[in-house]
Amino acid sequence: MKKTLLTLSTLLLIVFTAYCQSAQKDTRLSPQQLREDLAYLKQQLFNVHAYPYTEISPTRYNQLFADIASRLTDSSTATAFLKEIKPLLAYLCDEHAQAYLPNHLLWTSYQHDPVFMPVSLVRRGKYYQVDKILYEGGSLKPGDIITKVDNIKLDRLIEQCALFTSGYPEQRTEKALQQFGYLYTWTLPAPQHYFVFRTRDGKETSLPGVPLKVWQDELGKQTGWDTHCDEKITYQKIGNAGYITACSFNFPQAYLDTVQQQIDSIFRIVKADHPAYLFIDVSKNSGGQSIVGNMLIDYFYTQPYRDYSFDFRRSDAYINLLKSWGIEAPEWYKTAPEGKLLHFDSDTIHPQEKPYHYNGKVFIIVGKGTFSSAMMFATLVKDNNMAVIAGETPMLGHPNKFGELYNTRLPNTKIELLFGVKRWIRPKGIVKENLLKPDILVNLTDDKAALIQQVLGK
């Protein structure tokens, strides 16, 4: 039996709680307070994170911390300090890793003013084109080729923006394009209300900024995670196919027995419908409890299969976090040396026998929004040849990744930290290209009948 605590690998765990600090958003902190927060951050990343040296060496990481410390010679705000430390989390290669302030603690201008650039980009060969403009008006149009912004070459800006997000290098670059205007504002030392673009033909044009809320809405649309679903797992019959939409695995631990009953009820209906094909759609699923994916597998696969292996960082900090949740860490974890990276080989999972088992052809639909434990579910299916994977290659989620989320707060700036204490390794092991590539590539659409026809047609 796998030695695991809680699988909380989901961005939906990030609850932007309203805290009761009375300090104003633009209050300045002393250099000593900022250095204390930097030292605490270093201790957390080096001693609690599952493996901080995925991309850069300990020597290089230490130098980055030293460089920031040397710049902390004057008082500064929490928002400005957040800009300093965000790149430190990028190098973790942890797609869950975040350093953030609740909106009400950000600079006042970030909360209310139109200071975020309203542009996302896409790369076409060696050129960067405007993909979306989140502002009505202006002469800049989607498809325009951009060479500079504010008189700085775009290649350089993309590199900077990538360090203000998270994940593996190519993942960060993809985010830097999709979220360009949002991340660009974070790279700036101060807010600005207008942005100057130079196009390939040498013309210059400016666009005003948009408020933060505009970009928050856009980020939800890019992944599909903003899609409202009354039920997180639903079923419908479409022609000769059954279609299960799993828009989230994010259920409270105490609710899992109810989830099991719900999935059982769905497959009772599937058995009565006798569909020739069954589709399980996790293309807009941001994750949650990984056990929910295993529950689904039990209903369409009967053979033993290989699970993920993982490395687990032992720390007092994580033990104390579990205690705050009312959970006691197991003895094997508590008695391990502080800071030790514990390795666990892949288990063999034996699916539970189900009365409403589906025996037909199964397709798993993946896409841009397949993330965290939804990615783990699809990867288990892929690596164990359980079903056909169809859809689009997820770029924001990866089969090998970090999880088992840990959170803490910097003591003075109140910056929230989130990162993984486990390193998950897919059943196939470490492979050169850390992507989940569908067996059948199709362009996703919300028209499920058309999607079914696309997949079956291929």
Q: Helix H segments across 228-330?
A: 256-273, 290-298, 316-324
pLDDT value of residue 315: 96
Query: Phi/psi at 27 (nearest 5 deg)?
Result: -65, 140
Residues of the chain with pLDDT under 70: 1-25, 224-228
pLDDT value of residue 136: 86
pLDDT value of residue 225: 67
pLDDT value of residue 159: 97
pLDDT value of residue 5: 41
pLDDT value of residue 432: 79
Pairwise CA distance, residues 421 & 403, whole Å: 6
In three-state secondary structure terms, 272 is: helix
pLDDT value of residue 220: 80
Q: Which residue bears the tokens 């006691």?
A: 328
Question: Distance from first CA to last CA of the chain, Å, rounded?
Answer: 39
pTM listed for this prediction: 0.85
pLDDT value of residue 431: 76
**pLDDT digit string (tens) for 154-184?**
999 999 999 999 999 989 999 999 999 999 9
Domains and CATH numbers, the chain: 1-103+309-337+401-427 (3.30.750.44), 114-210 (2.30.42.10), 233-307+346-399+435-457 (3.90.226.10)
Sequence-distant (≥ 6) Cβ neighbours of residue 127 within 8 angstroms: 145, 200
pLDDT value of residue 290: 92
